[in-house]
Amino acid sequence: MWRPSEDSDTDFWRSRGNSILQRLMVKEHMKQRLLEAVVKEMQIGVMVTDADKRFLYANPFFEKTFSHATNPEGKNLSEVVKDRAVAEVIDRMLISRAEEPQEIAVEGKDGHFFEARLVPFSLEQGNHVAVNLTPTRPACAGVSADRSARSRVLIGFFHDVTEEKRVEAIKRDFVANVSHELRTPLASIKGYAETLLDGAMDDKATLKNFLTIIDRHANRMTALIGDLLTLSMLESHQMPMSFESLDIKELIQAVIQGLEKQAADKGISLSLDVRGRLAVNGDRDRLEQVMVNLIDNAIKYTNKGTVKVTGRKDGNMLRMDVEDSGIGIPEKDLSRIFERFYRVDKGRSRELGGTGLGLAIVKHIIQGHNGKIWVSSRHGKGSTFSFTIPIKR
């Protein structure tokens, strides 16, 4: 029977101890690599400077969105960070050996905005910073008299809040726009009602005239609130859409019938050309709304001439074009035309009863049908609004 000698016993435990140590080291190494990968990949800027304001580390996101120097590691703060406010805070924190983190709002490159959190950290407290902090300069005995100061670093986290700021601005604009759009008709209603109450109501003709105006403004407010509700439901995906097989020619013919008088009154010839039988899977009411909005715009913004609606198959998609020979859209406005409340000529649009929500609603409906919408236009010559949605297979 085999019996371990005392020597082999010791060997056994030593080798066992070594393998545990090795495994722990491998684990530690893997943990280090994992943390390095996390910091490298994260979409938050991370930087570390030493007490001399030299960069020890910057992750790729920081370099891309904030750093003014390529390969910031080893470079001085002033070469890398151009925002005076951050540079001053870092300076102050290093000089005062701040213990508490500081938060600051800063502007980065290319119009990016950040919320930065600067955290003082001591490498001497037995903690390890989870990035490769290889000193960029060899420590020099004379210089490193104050070791504790030398071991202090500052870690910065730069959270990109550009998108949040943009959304905030849109919300602010939206509230301002809605208030303005409601205030205008409301002021008129109040004005006419007060004049009537002040005695104008005794004259029957004036009474009728003023009540007609009040009624028109009230209708305008109702339409605006209706559009706002539709838009908000579409944007929050709460608009119930019931998809069914639709013959597109039939659907557009019905829309055109309803708008023929409006076109004829302006002397505009309105034509439809749909090649073949094209069926789509769509929500009838919503697609009608799209066509009404586009054709209504084409008629509204054309003084005389033609409005042509064409539909054809384009690969797996149905492609519709609504082309007019109207006033057109200036190049600078083209990219903003689908934004809510955006109007090229506010005065003219309002005169025509528009709120500037039509195209925003149209865009959402088309997107809800997995389609795309775009516009091409020549100022003074006319515009073509085009969209595609999948054909029913």
Ligand X SMILES: Nc1ncnc2c1ncn2[C@@H]1O[C@H](COP(=O)(O)OP(=O)(O)OP(=O)(O)O)[C@@H](O)[C@H]1O
Q: Which residues bind ligand X (CB under 6 A)?
A: 227, 293, 297-298, 301, 324, 326-329, 337, 342-345, 349, 354-359, 383
DSSP string, 204-220: HHHHHHHHHHHHHHHHH
Query: Toward Mg ion, which CB reaches closer, 156 or 358?
Result: 358
* Interaction partner, residue 327 (ligand X, Mg ion, none; CB < 5-8 Å by kind): ligand X
- Pairing of β 268-274 and β 305-314: parallel
Nearer to Mg ion, 123 or 178 (CB): 178
CB contact set of 123 (below 8 Å; sequence gap of 6+): 129, 133, 151, 152, 153
Beta pairing partners, 55: 49
Least distance in angstroms from the C-beta of 337 to Mg ion: 10
Given Mg ion, ligand X, none, residue 349, with its beta carbon under 5 to 8 Å by kind, binds: ligand X
Name which of Mg ion, ligand X, none residue 301 binds, using a CB cut-off of 5 to 8 Å depending on partner kind: ligand X
Q: Which is nearer to ligand X, 49 or 355 (CB)?
A: 355
255, two tokens: 């829309």
Q: Which two tokens stand for residue 3?
A: 């019996």
- Kindly tell me which of 124 and 260 has the beta carbon lying closer to ligand X: 260
Which of Mg ion, ligand X, none lies near 47, with the C-beta cut-off 5 to 8 A by kind? Answer: none
Q: Is the alpha carbon torsion for 64, 69, 71, 72 positive or negative?
A: negative
Out of Mg ion, ligand X, none, what residue 355 binds, judged by CB under 5 to 8 A for its kind, is ligand X
The CA–CA distances, whole Å, from 163 to 12, 103, 212, 231, 363 equal 61, 19, 46, 21, 21
User: How far is 6 from 70, CA to CA, in rounded Å?
Assistant: 61
Q: CA 326 to CA 331: how far, in whole Å? A: 15
Nearer to Mg ion, 116 or 360 (CB): 360
Closest CB to Mg ion: residue number: 358
Binding partner of 156, given ligand X, Mg ion, none, CB within 5-8 angstroms per partner class: none
Q: Which residues are at the interface with Mg ion (CB under 5 A)?
A: 297, 358
| Stated length of the chain | 393
Distance of closest approach, residue 179 Cβ to ligand X, in angstroms? 17
- Which is closer to Mg ion, CB of 161 or CB of 223? 223
